[in-house]
């Protein structure tokens, strides 16, 4: 379990590193009809893909300055935990 709140940039960097270590790719989810990123306002949807482009997990990040709340940070960790392993954010 994540030890404390993290910023948007910290979470995204940790997510990309953990994905790379497992041979996966992280990308922002885009609506195929409009070509625009999914989400509303400062909320962005990110997904984890395998080498063949299959989506394995998905989670939402809030793009605010400063730290996200512990609850939001934990929900992001939980969204990707099945694929990246328990405690992936603190490794």
pLDDT at position 6, please? Answer: 92
pLDDT at position 86, please? Answer: 93
* CA–CA gap between residue 12 and residue 30 (Å, rounded): 17
**Domain presence at residue 2:** no
Domains contained in the chain, number: 1
**Domain presence at residue 59:** yes
**Domain presence at residue 70:** yes
**Domain presence at residue 90:** no
Range of the domain at 47: 8-85
With 0.85 as the threshold, say if the pTM is over it: yes
**Domain presence at residue 91:** no
Contact 43, 29 (CB under 8 A): no
What length is written for the chain? 91
pLDDT at position 17, please? Answer: 97
Tens digit of each residue's pLDDT (9 = 90 or more) over 18-74? 999 999 999 999 999 999 999 988 899 999 999 999 999 999 999 988 999 889 999
CATH number of residue 28's parent domain: 3.30.920
């Amino acid at each position: 379990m994540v030890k404390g709140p993290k910023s948007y940039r910290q979470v995204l960097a940790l997510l990309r590193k953990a994905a790379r270590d497992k041979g996966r790719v992280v990308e922002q989810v885009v609506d195929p009809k409009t070509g625009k990123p999914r989400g509303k306002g400062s909320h962005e949807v990110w997904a984890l893909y395998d080498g063949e482009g299959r989506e394995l997990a998905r989670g939402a990040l809030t793009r605010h300055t400063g730290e996200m709340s512990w609850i939001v940070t934990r929900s992001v960790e939980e969204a990707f935990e099945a694929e990246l392993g328990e405690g992936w954010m603190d490794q």
